[in-house]
């Protein structure tokens, strides 16, 4: 782990040197562009709220923490918390309540992720930050809610890697090869990113508490793009860090867009042009321009949706076919749908 993080930090220095080297080349272009940006009128909105979604809002009986979209079957899986409520609700993308899971194996769901392969929904993963007998785990379910696999040590917070332990794991992302990325977590004890193989063995772990590159402070959301980069919403440090999927090497940091509030979510729009980030405390959704490959440069907000005070958006998911964005809101206790304009 020490070795991993030193490889990571030296990679950071290399990319800094590279940036300095290349800087003189692109300098004038960059300056000219920013003058035009300044003169340009405010960008048009990219998304608008669909106020008719959901059509059965009364079926959301708890507080929704996250959503996973199954674009194949046009379904939305909502992870919610509350006493004596089903922890997972399934809605259609038209907004109708379809079903609720019966499982009693969820304590306090946090992140939820739909694994879709060969145009089929294979499974649903949920991170559980509860303190009860099912807490501190990352669990895989069948689409109808049968428990298939438990990662971590149920009910026990910890930092070990053998046996694997979590402390309030925040989010999970599974890539097309079934490799698993987990950010651990929401609790403060662990501040790390873990990569597991398709047979659930630990491949590497990165990070400890701190604000250096490759360190984290409450890593809250993780996503892969299509060009081999891992994006981590490093909430407590008010920044997004990006790493290489193959080597784990550090690629870059975005921090200048998050001075007012840290990033809670990171997902990508269906055209892959923008990162979708919500900021809970200031009830805002940001669209940030994503460089198509390689270095991530300095972050640039291309569009903002300001929600009402107290809405408190927590995590999001995107329908990669239609582009619709779903937002789980802790303050408003609802899920909202935004559609591309």
Ligand X SMILES: *[C@@H]1O[C@H](CO)[C@@H](O)[C@H](O)[C@H]1NC(C)=O
Q: Which residues bind ligand X (CB under 6 A)?
A: 83-84, 209-211, 217, 236-237, 261, 281-282
The torsion defined by the Cα of 270, 273, 275 and 278, in degrees rounded to 10, comes to -70
DSSP H or E stretch at residue 81: strand 75-81
Alpha-carbon span 89 to 328, nearest angstrom:
13
Q: What is the largest CA-CA distance in the chain?
A: 61
Shortest reach from residue 282's CB to ligand X, in Å = 6
Which residue, 158, 104, 110, 161, is CA-closest to 134?
104
Shortest reach from residue 20's CB to ligand X, in Å = 25
- Using CB atoms within 10 Å of the CB of residue 74, give its burial: 0 to 12 exposed, 13 to 18 middle, 19+ buried: middle
Beta pairing class for 229-234 and 219-224: antiparallel
Q: Please identify, using beta-carbon distances, which residue of 86 and 237 lies nearer to ligand X.
A: 237
Q: Please identify, using beta-carbon distances, which residue of 238 and 337 lies nearer to ligand X.
A: 238
Tokens of 281: 């405390």
What CA–CA distances, in Å, run from 307 to 283, 314, 330? 5, 12, 13
Name the 3-class secondary structure at 219: strand
Shortest reach from residue 12's CB to ligand X, in Å = 16
Cβ atoms of 268 and 276 closer than 8 Å: yes
The backbone torsions φ and ψ at residue 209, rounded to the nearest 5 degrees and listed phi first, read -65, 135
Shortest reach from residue 261's CB to ligand X, in Å = 6
Q: Please identify, using beta-carbon distances, which residue of 34 and 256 lies nearer to ligand X.
A: 256
Shortest reach from residue 66's CB to ligand X, in Å = 20
| Neighbouring-strand partners of residue 68 | 77
Q: Please identify, using beta-carbon distances, which residue of 52 and 84 lies nearer to ligand X.
A: 84
Q: Please identify, using beta-carbon distances, which residue of 24 and 84 lies nearer to ligand X.
A: 84
Shortest reach from residue 189's CB to ligand X, in Å = 9
DSSP H or E stretch at residue 170: strand 169-174
Q: Please identify, using beta-carbon distances, which residue of 282 and 339 lies nearer to ligand X.
A: 282
Q: Please identify, using beta-carbon distances, which residue of 165 and 283 lies nearer to ligand X.
A: 283
Which residue, 136, 145, 152, 151, is CA-closest to 104?
145
Shortest reach from residue 197's CB to ligand X, in Å = 29
Shortest reach from residue 190's CB to ligand X, in Å = 11
CA 48, distance to chain mean position in Å, is 21
Shortest reach from residue 248's CB to ligand X, in Å = 20
Q: Please identify, using beta-carbon distances, which residue of 190 and 319 lies nearer to ligand X.
A: 190
Alpha-carbon span 192 to 11, nearest angstrom:
18
Q: Please identify, using beta-carbon distances, which residue of 190 and 237 lies nearer to ligand X.
A: 237
């Amino acid at each position: 782990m020490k070795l991993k993080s030193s490889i990571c930090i030296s990679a950071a220095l290399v990319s800094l040197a590279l940036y300095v080297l290349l800087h003189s080349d692109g300098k004038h272009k960059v300056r000219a562009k920013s003058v035009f940006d300044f003169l340009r009128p405010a960008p048009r909105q990219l998304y608008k709220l669909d106020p008719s979604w959901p059509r059965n809002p009364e079926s959301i009986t708890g507080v929704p923490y996250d959503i996973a979209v199954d674009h194949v079957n046009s379904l939305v899986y909502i992870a919610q918390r509350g006493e004596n409520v089903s922890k997972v609700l399934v809605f259609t993308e038209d907004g109708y309540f379809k079903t609720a899971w019966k499982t009693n194996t969820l304590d306090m769901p946090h992140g939820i992720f739909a694994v879709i392969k060969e145009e089929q929904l294979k499974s649903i993963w949920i991170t559980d930050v509860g303190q009860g007998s099912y807490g501190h785990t990352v669990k895989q379910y069948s689409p109808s809610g049968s428990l298939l696999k438990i990662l971590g040590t149920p009910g026990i917070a910890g930092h070990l890697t053998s046996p694997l332990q979590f402390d309030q794991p925040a989010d999970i992302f599974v890539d097309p090869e079934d490799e698993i990325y987990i950010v651990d977590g929401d609790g403060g004890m662990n501040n790390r990113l873990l990569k597991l193989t398709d047979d659930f063995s630990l491949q590497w772990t990165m990070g400890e508490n701190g604000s250096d590159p490759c360190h984290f402070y409450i890593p809250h959301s993780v996503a892969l793009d299509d060009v081999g980069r891992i994006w981590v919403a490093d909430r407590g440090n008010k920044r997004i860090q990006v790493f290489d999927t193959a080597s784990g090497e550090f690629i870059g940091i975005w921090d200048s867009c998050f001075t007012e509030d840290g990033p809670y979510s990171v997902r990508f729009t269906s055209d892959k042009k923008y990162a979708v980030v919500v900021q809970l405390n200031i009830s805002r959704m940001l669209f940030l321009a994503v460089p198509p490959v390689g270095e991530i440069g300095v972050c640039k907000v291309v569009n903002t949706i300001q929600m009402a005070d107290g809405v408190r958006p927590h995590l999001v998911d995107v329908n990669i076919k239609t582009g619709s964005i779903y937002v789980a809101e802790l303050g408003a206790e609802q899920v909202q749908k935004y559609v591309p304009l």
